[in-house]
Amino acid sequence: MAHETAVPLRARQRDNPSLATVTGTELARNKRGFIFWYHLLAPVIVTVPLFLGALGSSEAKAGQTFEVFRNVTLEFWGVLVPMTAGLAAALAVRADQDPWRLLLSYGVPRGRYFVGKVAALGVLGFVSSTVLLVMLSLGSVISGRFPEGMGTVVAAVYLPWLVGLSMTALAVLVAVMWGMGPSIGVGVAGLLCGALVSDKVFWFAVPFAWPMRVVLPLAGIGPNGVPLPKDSPVTEMSAIPLALGLAAVLTVVLLFLGRLHMIRKEI
């Protein structure tokens, strides 16, 4: 009798996995692939040549090696966050086209596949941001500017990731609905808007520019990496809570739409 009741229980657990289980499965599937190594190594590949370049800059002679390294790195990171979201979403969803034909035939609530994928890519983005913070910290130590040189670096590293979760959700939704090319297009649009729109007065109307916009007042730089004058409106910190609020709303909407699409998706 105990065996007869245990089998349905296991079946119910199989057909109703928690979101944490789905997310963990997504992470386990990607831990040896390109997506994982990209998130792990991209900050290293970006920061090493930038630090070497900062050593040879004219500012280095004035003892501002770390400041140059920090500013240029954060500039690159602000535009790389949405680009990474588009690329990672495109590759992750493409890899799932065949498995989903089987998975969608189970009784598992389909919306969890979408939310779990966004959450897994978000975790990888957090790992990537942490590696970047470590590299910036090493740069400050080598330059003799640790810890006073770090200032708002922690916020400037993690806030773009947090705001960029909306871009991850958008890229995954686009990849699920229209495929790899349009999803990469989301990343390219984020890169361009971060460089061209993030310092404009209408930045809040362009979600692709939000990750870069939160970097600018924290680092005190423009999208081109040049320090901003103190009276520049771009340095106003009020842009940060606005970007966070807008990103949170957009993320919730996109997760809802993604779940709805997966529920209606034909096998």
DSSP string across 34-72: HHHHHHHHHHHHHHHHHHHHHHTSGGGGGT-HHHHHHHH
In whole angstroms, what is the distance from residue 52 CA to residue 58 CA? 13
Extract the tokens encoding 210.
Answer: 């939000």
Q: Cβ distance 138 to 153 under 8 Å? A: no
Low-confidence ranges of the chain (pLDDT < 70): 1-15, 60, 98-108, 266-267
Q: What pLDDT score was predicted for residue 155? A: 92
- Reported as a single tens digit per residue, the pLDDT across 117-163 is 999 999 999 999 999 999 999 999 998 888 887 888 999 999 999 99
**What pLDDT is attached to residue 5?**
47
60's CB contacts (< 8 A; 6+ apart) are 54, 68
Express the helix, strand and coil content of the chain in percent, nearest 5 each. Answer: 80, 0, 20
Output the pLDDT for position 107. Answer: 63
DSSP letter (8 states) at residue 61: G
> Where do the domains of the chain lie?
18-264
**How many helices (H) and strands (E) in the chain?**
10, 0
For residues 72 and 135, give the distance between their C-alpha atoms in angstroms, rounded to a whole number. 13
